[in-house]
């Protein structure tokens, strides 16, 4: 397999965590987002959206969109499950995951911030936008976490929700969004910080880290 990635891409980060949790190897192919390498014609043949990540599977399929890739990995390599439990429990895991991946991340990503800068916003206003949308979204996510024994978001093992949370908290730290008053999210993040799969997937551990 080959994973088209960038060390600081939140979406690629999610997939890296999933791969490490599953014990599945994928050769990294690096595309520098800030330099616009994801818009190169040769990459657009893999992913017409010009986004990261893209996964080339060992069966020759090309998969895009991080959440679709994560679910494919979970179906193809069932252990350990990223969507465990009952249908209701799995729906709740998906809901929190999508609250991050679909509602927080897209409105603070590189493309949106670049458009705000192009519209004449000063840099502090751009960063303030990112802080505000991240903070508002994470406050809502705190309310979606069940009152379980933990230590992860939905119990004793990481799920798809945890692998969405950790990259988003990375963005929160980068933009200075306050999160320490969100105890359920902080507890899960601390558990993830001690898990080998999350450690291996961290941006600073990637060969293209800057």
List the chain pLDDT tens, one digit each, 210 residues: 999 999 999 999 999 999 999 999 999 999 999 999 999 999 999 999 999 999 999 999 999 999 999 999 999 999 999 999 999 999 999 999 999 999 999 999 999 999 999 999 999 999 999 999 999 999 999 999 998 778 999 999 999 999 999 999 999 999 999 999 999 999 999 999 999 999 999 999 999 999
Q: Which domains does the chain have, with CATH numbers?
A: 2-80 (3.40.30.10), 87-198 (1.20.1050.10)
Model-level pTM? 0.96
Q: From the CB of residue 185, how many other CB atoms can be counted at a distance below 10 Å?
A: 24
How much helix, strand and coil, in percent to the nearest 5, is found in the chain?
55, 10, 35
């Amino acid at each position: 397999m080959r994973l088209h990635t960038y060390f600081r891409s939140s979406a690629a980060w999610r997939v890296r965590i999933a791969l490490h949790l599953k014990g599945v190897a994928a050769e990294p192919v690096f595309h520098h987002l800030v330099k616009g390498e994801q818009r190169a014609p040769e990459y657009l043949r893999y992913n017409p959206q010009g986004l990261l990540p893209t996964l080339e599977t060992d069966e020759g399929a090309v998969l895009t969109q991080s959440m679709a890739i994560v679910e494919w990995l979970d179906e193809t390599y069932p252990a350990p499950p990223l969507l465990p439990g009952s249908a209701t429990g799995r729906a709740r895991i998906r809901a929190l995951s999508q609250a991050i991946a679909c509602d927080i991340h897209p409105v603070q990503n590189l493309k949106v911030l670049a458009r705000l800068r192009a519209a004449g916003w000063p840099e502090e206003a751009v960063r303030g936008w990112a802080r505000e949308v991240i903070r508002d979204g994470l406050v809502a996510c705190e309310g979606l976490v069940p009152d379980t024994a933990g230590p992860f978001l939905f119990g004793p093992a990481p799920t798809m929700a945890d692998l969405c949370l950790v990259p988003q908290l990375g963005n929160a730290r980068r933009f200075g969004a306050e999160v320490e008053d969100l105890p359920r999210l902080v507890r899960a993040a601390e558990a993830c910080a001690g898990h080998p799969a999350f450690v291996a997937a961290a941006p600073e551990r990637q060969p293209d880290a800057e």
